[in-house]
């Protein structure tokens, strides 16, 4: 039976460590505040925003909520971000994505000060990751690294295959695995013979956005399988990009969905907020 990588437990450990860190920073007179902007009221976004605010409360930092109506103009949103950039009491800013179609997502990301970009989406932070300098790292891939390390899975020297090349998951994921000295292959929709490439992986990280696409034939016996995907099925249950029931007997270690990568994203967002406090 595969080792189950418990994201719920590991994310809790991280949040508890952060809570202690925040308490000691507060003793030194350093306070933290995260500004959370949501435009419109997409129900999924509202759930994410609520969970982020709850996590702030748990670790002991203040969250400021900006709930803007759907018809807010891009200029109004950018003006709010500029104000928050200048506010010395705010050390982290995030704008929940997606934003309404009349707004330019890239422009919004570019406007958030890189020093307050706790999502790690600003090109300055992405560039820092590419050249191995300090910066905020995208939360989901940073969470995957913590899952592997805290589960005792060795990365250095291993063959790692990342399926997916999005800016927020696949690309930063591959760069982080490279930083940890894995030999990394990135796959995407134009990869020829995806199965054969995946089967070479000691560590297979899947962020493809297709429910249960990765079946047992993609997985080498004993490989570590990290499933970033999250989908609501017709019966209301959640599933990932990996067919867990098929892959689990073949894998050496695997993340479940839910309870794997999902909880790590918010824990790493909190980690970035605490880092922003200490800078």
The residues annotated with a catalytic role in the active site are: 52, 96, 119
| Integer Cα distance of 59 and 33 in angstroms | 11
Tokens encoding 138? 């995208």
For residue 259, give the nearest of 3, 2, 1, 11 by alpha carbon: 11
For position 261 contacting ligand NDP by CB under 6 A, the verdict is yes
For residue 212, give the nearest of 196, 225, 193 by alpha carbon: 225
Least distance to ligand NDP from the beta carbon of 213, Å?
7
**Residues 92-121 close enough to bind ligand NDP by CB under 6 A:** none
> Segment contacting ligand NDP (CB under 6 A): 9-17, 65-73, 79-87, 223-231?
223-231
Nearer to ligand NDP, 114 or 164 (CB): 164
Find the helix packing angle between 139-150 and 170-179, rounded to 10°: 40
| Integer Cα distance of 105 and 276 in angstroms | 23
- Site size toward ligand NDP (CB under 6 A) is 25
> Segment contacting ligand NDP (CB under 6 A): 50-58, 82-90, 108-116, 168-176?
168-176
| Integer Cα distance of 106 and 266 in angstroms | 22
> Segment contacting ligand NDP (CB under 6 A): 37-45, 104-112, 196-204, 226-234?
226-234
Q: Which residues bind ligand NDP (CB under 6 A)?
A: 140, 163-166, 168-170, 187-191, 194, 207-210, 228-230, 241, 261-262, 265
């Amino acid at each position: 039976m595969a080792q189950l990588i418990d994201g719920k437990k590991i994310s809790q450990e991280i949040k508890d460590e952060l809570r202690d860190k925040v308490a000691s920073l507060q003793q030194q007179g350093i306070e933290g505040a995260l500004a959370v902007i949501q435009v419109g009221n997409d129900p999924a976004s509202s759930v994410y925003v609520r969970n982020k605010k709850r996590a702030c409360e748990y670790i002991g930092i203040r969250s400021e909520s900006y709930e803007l109506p759907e018809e807010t103009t891009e200029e109004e949103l950018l003006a709010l971000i500029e104000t928050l950039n200048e506010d010395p009491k705010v050390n982290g800013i995030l704008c929940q994505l997606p934003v309404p179609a009349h707004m330019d997502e890239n422009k919004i990301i570019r406007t958030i000060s890189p020093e307050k970009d706790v999502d790690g989406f600003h090109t300055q932070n992405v560039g820092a990751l590419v050249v191995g300098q300090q910066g905020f790292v995208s939360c989901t891939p940073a969470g995957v690294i913590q899952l592997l390390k805290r589960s005792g899975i060795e990365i250095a020297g291993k063959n790692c295959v990342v399926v997916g090349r999005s800016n927020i998951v696949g690309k930063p994921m591959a760069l982080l695995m490279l930083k940890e000295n894995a030999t990394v292959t990135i796959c995407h929709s134009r990869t020829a013979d995806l199965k054969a490439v995946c089967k070479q992986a000691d560590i297979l990280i899947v962020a493809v956005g297709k429910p249960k696409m990765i079946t047992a034939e993609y997985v080498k016996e004993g490989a570590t399988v990290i499933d970033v995907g999250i989908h609501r099925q017709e019966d209301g249950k959640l599933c990932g990009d990996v067919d867990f029931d098929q892959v689990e007997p073949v894998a050496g270690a695997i993340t479940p969905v839910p309870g794997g990568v999902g909880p790590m994203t918010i824990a790493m967002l909190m980690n970035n907020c605490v880092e922003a406090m200490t800078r």
